[in-house]
Each structure stands twice: as structure tokens, then as C-alpha cells.
Amino acid sequence: MAEQPEGVGKEVLYEIVDDHVALVTLNRPDKRNAVNGIVARAMQWIRRDVEVRDAIRVAIICSSSPQTFCAGADLAEIAAGRGHTIAPDGEGFAAFTDVAHAKPWIAAVSGNVLAGGCELALACDMIVASEDSRFGLPEVKRGLFAGAGGVFRLPRMIPRNIAYELVATGDPMPAERAFHFGLVNRLVPSGEAISSARGLAREIAVNAPVSVRESLAVARLSHDIDEEALRARSREASAITGATQDAKEGTLAFLEKRAPAWTGR
């Protein structure tokens, strides 16, 4: 791993909670968690660390501010001619939206989840939202384009005509409606998004890590390749998981009526 950048532990908090769960907290409340170069580099380092650290099985991204998950790009950074720093090394907004990740990511959101912040949440595998959340891509209201994946991820996640409305009007969708259409996995009272996301993460983390990663890898491809290719990738995933120590451990634990002790190998 590269040397830890300055933003880790400051603009972006990073800790291990609940055994095997990484909690990643955007922490620029005075700027509504707008992403600048420091935040992007911190996110890049953290994302890579999550991928390689065996002890981590699930990651949660959240906000230190209950009013805003993330306001998107820091316009001051763009005005200063440093817009490229918010999407380093071709990895997309906050070094996150254009990068494949093997481990599951959960967005725990509250308040405004707009523009790049919405796209950051959409790039995760699951979303837990408080009832006061609002999701939207308001870029069209400013003559801009939501270029971090939101305009193509939304139609894959909710009915197309509803997604088209959000994209074309730029108006936000309240959390209850987002939950109704399946954009949100769990809708919780205000102030409970992070604790609920941690509960969901624990439910995932008790499972065999390789099985979770391989199962998600195939599931993520379901909109991108045909069934024949999906069957081939499924056979590959089955062979990979079947050859692990955890596959033997899972069977043995079931027979012995005990909780399995996963090694991730």
C-alpha cells in the first residue's frame, strides 16, 4: 500500500467496527462533505486498503453530518482549476464511482443525497437511508451533466420511466418513494441509518467471505452479459468457492451444529 494520505483520519474517518466491518465517514460538515482532492485521495487509499485487508469483509460509507450525505464536487476546487483532483487516476468521482470492488459496500445516508453524493451512494451495493433522505441528480438545473454514473445506474435500479423523470427534471426523490421503488434496501427513522447499516453489514460478515465476493461478482454482471456468459461465470465462481477451506468448514460446522470459523481461504 502507498503511504497513508493526509486526509485519512481527518476529512475521511476510517475505523474497523463490529468485527470485519469498515466504517468510512465523510467528515467535512462545514462544506457539506463536498469532495476535494484531499477527500478523493483519502477515499482512494481507504478503498484500496479495504480490498486487500483480509480482516475486512464489508464496508460502510456514511457522513458525520445528519443533514447531508455528500454535496458532490467541491466547486471551489473546480474554480481553482483543480477539478481533476476529485477523480484521480481515472477512478471516477471520489476515486470510487468508476472502480470495481470485490467486497460489498453499503451507503448509510441521511439528509440530502444529491449530485455526486447520490452517485457515490448508487456506486455502492446497498443503501440504508433515514426517512429524511432525499435522492437526486440536480445537474440539469445548472446546465451540467451527472457524469459519475448516476444517469445510467438509476435506470438499472428503479423503473426506467421513474429514473428518466429524475434525470430530466433534476428534482429530488424522498426516501419513502426511493424505498418503494427498491432504490433503498432499508428505510429507518432519522438518526438510525448508520446503526442499521452496521446491522446489515454484520448479517453479511457472518457469511463465508469468498462465497460473498464470488456471489456478488456474478450478481453485479446480471445486467451486463447474457445468460450463457452468466452461467459460465457462475461455474467459475462455484469452482473457486468449492476449492476453499471455508467450503469444507461450512459443511463441517453444519454437521457439528456450531457456528463456522471462516478464514477467507
pLDDT of residue 183: 98
Residues 6 or more apart whose CB falls under 8 angstroms from that of 240 comprise 210, 214
The cell for 253 is: 460446522
pLDDT of residue 83: 85
pLDDT of residue 30: 93
Residue 79 or residue 186, greater confidence: 186
- Report the interhelical angle of 160-169 vs 150-157 (nearest 10°): 150
pLDDT grade, residue 75 (50/70/90)? confident
pLDDT grade, residue 1 (50/70/90)? low
The cell for 64 is: 458525520
pLDDT of residue 2: 76
pLDDT of residue 6: 87
Average pLDDT over residues 5-19: 93
Q: Which residues are catalytic?
A: 119, 139
Q: What is the pTM of this model?
A: 0.95
Q: How far, in Å, are 8, 245, 257 from residue 253 at the CA level?
A: 39, 12, 6
Work out the mean pLDDT of the chain and round it to a whole number: 95
Measured torsion, CA atoms of residues 23, 125, 52, 249, in degrees rounded to the nearest 10:
100
The cell for 28 is: 467535512
Average pLDDT over residues 25-48: 96
Residue found by looking up cell 475521511 in the block: 12
pLDDT grade, residue 3 (50/70/90)? confident
- Percent of the chain predicted with pLDDT > 90: 91
pLDDT grade, residue 90 (50/70/90)? very high
Q: For the chain, percent helix, then strand, then coil, each to nearest 5?
A: 45, 15, 35
Residue 78 has pLDDT above 90, yes or no: no
